Amino acid sequence: MTTKKISPWKIAIIPVAMFGFGFAMVPLYDVFCDITGLNGKNFQIGLSESTGAVSAQTATLKFLSDPQSKDTWEFRPERTSLELKAGEMITTYYEISNFRDHPVVIQAVPSVAPGQWAQYLVKIECFCFNEQVIQPHSTLRMPLQVTLSAKAPEEVNHLSLSYRIYEKAETAANTDI
């Protein structure tokens, strides 16, 4: 026989590697989304050089809340829209109410549209960075500080920011918070 021999063990490396690749796709997907803005989650966080700079670029930013969150928590933005100027920081608020007898812990999950422009929205401070605790029978006024990145190209003239409220599972059982 003149043909080269191949070992089944060597071939079997491929399926094992591909199984790992399937899982590696998870962080790869995050990196990819970061670069392309595929899922509208790659808004910038915090101040950096690009946010300090000022340019003439402006964009209308609309504030939305997920309708079900609005019903369940009376979660709503204080303003529905405002004009963002690159480099200029603006503060606005969202309100959320807890009607129960015990404190609740919630996590706000943001989403930006269009996804590929999310990278030009800079959030300096956001209530979505952390879980929030809301005391019984009270309303919390949560701050949001945003600006437009100076790197935003001319066509970026509108953005929509929406939040959805998720309740953290442990609150129902845990009344000692």
Partner 1 sequence: MSEHAADHHHGPDKGFLRWVYTTNHKDIGTMYLLLALAALLVGGVMAFVIRAELFEPGLQLVDPNFFNQMTTMHGLIMVFGAIMPAFVGLANWLVPMMIGAPDMALPRINNWSFWLLPFAFGMLFSTLFMEGGAPNFGWTFYAPLSTDYAPPSVTFFIFSVHIMGISSIMGAVNVIVTIFNMRAPGMTFMKMPLFVWTWLITAFLLIAVMPVLAGVVTMMLMDIHFGTSFFNAAGGGDPVMFQHVFWFFGHPEVYIMILPAFGVVSHIISTFSRKPLFGYTSMVWATASIAILSFIVWAHHMFTVGLPLVGELFFMYSTMLIAVPTGVKVFNWVTTMFKGSMTFETPMLFAIAFVVLFTIGGLSGLMLAIAPADFQYHDTYFVVAHFHYVLVPGALFSILAAVYFWLPKWCGRMYDEALGKWHFWMSFVAVNITFFPMHFIGLAGMPRRIPDYALQFADFNAIVSVGAFLFGFSQLIFVYNLWKTVILRKGEAATQEVWEDAEGLEWTVPSPAPYHTFAEPPQVK
Partner 2 sequence: MNRVGISAVSALLLMTASFSALADWGLNVPKGVTSVSHQVHDLHMTIFYICVVIAVIVFGVMLYSIVYHRKSRGAKASNFHESTTVEIIWTLIPLLILVGMAVPATSTLIDMYDHSDAELDVQITGYQWKWRYTYVNEQVDFFSNLSTTQEQIENQQEKGENYLLEVDNPLVLPVGTKVRFLLTAEDVIHSWWVPDLAVKKDTIPGFINEAWTKIEEPGIYRGQCTELCGAGHGYMPVVVKAVPKEEFDSWITEQSKLQAAAREVRDMSFDELMAQGEAVYKTYCAACHKVDGSGMPPVFPALKDSAIALGDITKHIDIVVNGKKGTAMAAFGGQLSVSDIASVVTYERNAWGNSKGDFATPKQIKAFKDNNK
User: What's the sign of the alpha-carbon dihedral 108, 133, 141, 49?
Assistant: negative
Tell me the per-residue interface mask from 104 to 133 with partner 1, x by CB under 8 A, - otherwise. ---x-x-----xx-----------------
Evaluate whether 143 touches 45 at the Cβ level (below 8 Å). Answer: no
Residue 153 binding: pick among partner 1, partner 2, none (C-beta 5-8 Å cut-off by kind): none
Residues 130-159 that bind partner 1 (CB under 8 A): none
DSSP-assigned beta bridge partners for residue 159: 61
Question: 55 or 115: whose CB is closer to partner 1?
Answer: 115
Binding site for partner 2 (CB under 8 A): 39-40, 62, 64, 66-68, 71-72, 80-81, 99-101, 109, 111-114, 155, 157-158, 160, 162, 164
Q: Is 11 in the site for partner 1 (CB under 8 A)?
A: yes
d(CA 159, CA 84): 10
Q: Is 89 in the site for partner 1 (CB under 8 A)?
A: no
Task: Please select the residue that binds partner 1; options are 18, 45, 54, 82, rule is CB under 8 A.
Answer: 18
Backbone dihedral region of 150: left (phi > 0), alpha (psi from -120 to 50 degrees) or beta?
A: alpha
- DSSP per-residue letters across 69-103: HHHHH--EES-SEEEEEBT--EEEEEEEEE-SSS-
Q: What phi, psi does 15 have (nearest 5°)?
A: -60, -35
The contact set with partner 1 (CB under 8 A) reads 1-8, 11-12, 14-19, 21-23, 25-26, 29, 33, 36-39, 107, 109, 115-116, 164, 166
